[in-house]
Amino acid sequence: MAKSLKAKEIGERLRQFGANKFSHRTEFAHFLGMSYESLTNYINGQALPGNTMQDRLRKLGCDIEWLMTGKLTDEQRKNLRPVYAAVPAGRGKVHDIPSTYEEAPPNVDDEGKGYWLRVKGDSMHPAIRDGQMVFVNPQREVRDNDFAVVSWDEHEEGAIKEVHFREEDIILSSINQLHVPIVIKRKSLSMIARICYVKL
C-alpha cells in the first residue's frame, strides 16, 4: 500500500512537471523516448521512474530529488504553491488529496500564502469546469459578486461559488442555472477565500 501511494505521488509530480514544460503529453513522451501510453502508466502510478528515465528527466531540468521525495529547495518554494484539496463546485465536503505543488499564477501577490484547489462538479460551468485548478489568495478581500471558496458549519461543507452578501446571510450562486443557490447564515461561515485565477 505504501509503495502504491508513493508511486501515485511521484506520478502526480511527474504530471505536474510535464504540464508545466510541454503543451501536450505526447511531446513530453517524445522527449523521454517512450510512448504516450508508457508515460501515462508512470503518471498513473503504475511504475516508478528508473535510472534511465531519471537521467532523461534531469536533462529536461527536472529536480529528481523533488520528483522522488517531494522535497523542495528554497528557490522552488518561492515559485510553487501547494495543492490542498478537491472542492465541490456544487455542494459537499472538501476532500483532501495527496499534497502536490503547482507553479503560482503569473504576477501573483499572495506573500507565499496562496494555494491551489481542484474543482469537482459542473455548477460553475462554463466559467470554471470540472477538474480545473483554481488559485485561492487569502490575502485578497472577498467582495460581493466575487468567486470564492466557502466552507461552513460543523460538518465542514464547502463549495466554490459566486458570493453575495446580505445582512445575516450569504447567498452562494452557481453559473450553471441547473443548480439552485445555497443560502447560509453568516454566523455559520468557517472560511471564505477569494479565487483570483483559473488554470485552463
The larger pLDDT score, comparing residue 22 to residue 168, is at 168
Do 117 and 42 share a domain, yes or no?
Answer: no
Do 57 and 88 share a domain, yes or no?
Answer: no
Last residue of a domain, one of 69, 85, 100: 69
Last residue of a domain, one of 45, 69, 93: 69
Do 116 and 86 share a domain, yes or no?
Answer: yes
pLDDT of residue 3: 52
Q: Which domain holds residue 135?
A: 76-199
* Three-class DSSP labels, the chain: CHHHHHHHHHHHHHHHHHHHHCCCHHHHHHHHCCCHHHHHHHHCCCCCCCHHHHHHHHHCCCCHHHHHHCCCCHHHHHHEEEEEEEEECCCEECEEEEEEEEECCCCCCCCCCCEEEEEECCCCCCCCCCCCEEEEECCCCCCCCCEEEEEECCCCEEEEEEEEECCCEEEEECCCCCCCCEEEEHHHEEEEEEEEEEEC
Do 103 and 159 share a domain, yes or no?
Answer: yes
pLDDT of residue 141: 93
Q: For 23-58, write each residue's pLDDT tens digit.
A: 789 999 999 999 999 999 999 999 999 999 999 999
- The sign one gets for the Cα dihedral 129, 131, 133, 139 is positive
- Rounded to whole angstroms, the Cα distance separating 26 from 123 reads 31
Do 62 and 88 share a domain, yes or no?
Answer: no
Q: Is the distance from CB of 170 to CB of 183 less than 8 angstroms?
A: yes
Number of structural domains (the chain) is 2
Cα angle for residues 98, 100, 101 (degrees, 5° grid): 160
Q: For 85-136, write each residue's pLDDT tens digit.
A: 677 776 666 656 545 778 888 888 888 889 888 888 899 999 999 888 899 9
